[in-house]
A and B are shown apart, each in its own frame.
Chain A
Amino acid sequence: NAGVMQNPRHLVRRRGQEARLRCSPMKGHSHVYWYRQLPEEGLKFMVYLQKENIIDESGMPKERFSAEFPKEGPSILRIQQVVRGDSAAYFCASSLTGTDEQFFGPGTRLTVL
C-alpha cells in the first residue's frame, strides 16, 4: 500500500518563475494538507483540501500561492513569481476521514536562486 507521494523531491527555480508541487495522497484518502518548513523551524500549516474543495486556507500567504485538489489526479500547490523567501521544504499529508491520523509524504525541497 503506497504511502503519500510527492514530486518532485527537489525543485530549483529562479526568482520570478513558477513552482508547481504535486501530492498524491494514500489510496482511499480524500483529505489533503500542505505544510511548509523553513530551515531550523517546525512545520507550518498552509491549506487543507478535500476533493475539489478548499476547506481551510488560513495558513496560505494571500498572494502568489494557490492550491487545488481536483476530482482526478494529484493535489497541486502552485507558487507564482517565486522569491528567495519561498525556499523551504513543502510537505503534503493525507488522512482518511479528516479527523484521524495524518500521513506525511517525503516533501519537496524548493530552492529559489
Chain B
Amino acid sequence: LAKTTQPISMDSYEGQEVNITCSHNNIATNDYITWYQQFPSQGPRFIIQGYKTKVTNEVASLFIPADRKSSTLSLPRVSLSDTAVYYCLVGDIRSGYSTLTFGKGTMLLVSP
C-alpha cells in the first residue's frame, strides 16, 4: 500500500476554509484516495473518496492533481465541531477486499 505523508497538526478559526494536503508519491494506478475523520473516543468516519480531479459532497471537497501524487481535503467554513483527526489513505478497493492503512493523521484544532 502506498505510504502517505500529512502534517501532524493544523490550527484554524471558525468560519475559515481549511485545506489539508496529503502526499502519496508511490500511489499505484488502481489506488483510490480516501479521507476519514476521527473524533476522540470514537471510530473513524468516512468523509470522501476520489480517484482523480475533483470530488465534492455535502461535507468536503477532494482535489487530486493529474499526477495523483498528492491530494487536498478542503473543508469549507469549519466550525468547532470539525476539531478532529483527519486521515488520508490510499489503496486499491477493488482487489476483492479493502484493508485500510491509517497513518498518524492530521490533528485539526478549530478555535472560536
Residues of A whose CB lies within 8 Å of any CB of B are 4, 31, 33, 35, 40-45, 48, 55-56, 59, 91, 93, 95, 98-107, 109
**In the complex, chain A residues whose CB is within 8 Å of the CB of B41:** 106-107, 109
Determine the interface band of chain B, counting residues with CB < 8 A from chain A. Answer: 20 to 34
Give which listed residue, A31, A40, A100, A102, contacts B100 with CB less than 8 A: A102
- In the bound complex, CA of A93 to CA of B34 (Å): 15
Other-chain contact of B87, A42, A59, A100 (Cβ < 8 Å): A42
Whether A106 touches B103, Cβ cut-off 8 Å, given contacts A98-B97, A100-B93, is no
Q: Which of A44, A95, A106 contacts B42 (CB 8 A)?
A: A106
Instruction: Say whether A48 contacts B104, CB under 8 Å.
Output: no
Using a CB–CB cutoff of 8 Å, the interface residues on chain B facing chain A are 41-46, 49, 87, 93-105
Known: A102-B46, A106-B42, A107-B41. A44 touches B102 (CB 8 A): yes
Are A56 and B99 in contact, with the CB atoms below 8 A?
Answer: yes
Taking a contact as CB atoms under 8 Å apart, the answer to whether A91 and B43 are in contact is yes
Q: Are B100 and A99 in contact (CB under 8 A)?
A: no
Q: How far is the CB of A54 from chain B (nearest CB, A)?
A: 12
Closest approach, in angstroms, between the C-beta of B73 and any C-beta of chain A?
16
Report A-chain residues with C-beta under 8 Å of the C-beta of B95: 99
Query: Contact between A45 and B101 (Cβ–Cβ < 8 Å)?
Result: yes
A98 to B98, CA, bound (A): 6
Q: Are A99 and B94 touching (Cβ within 8 A)?
A: yes
Are A43 and B46 in touch, CB under 8 angstroms? no
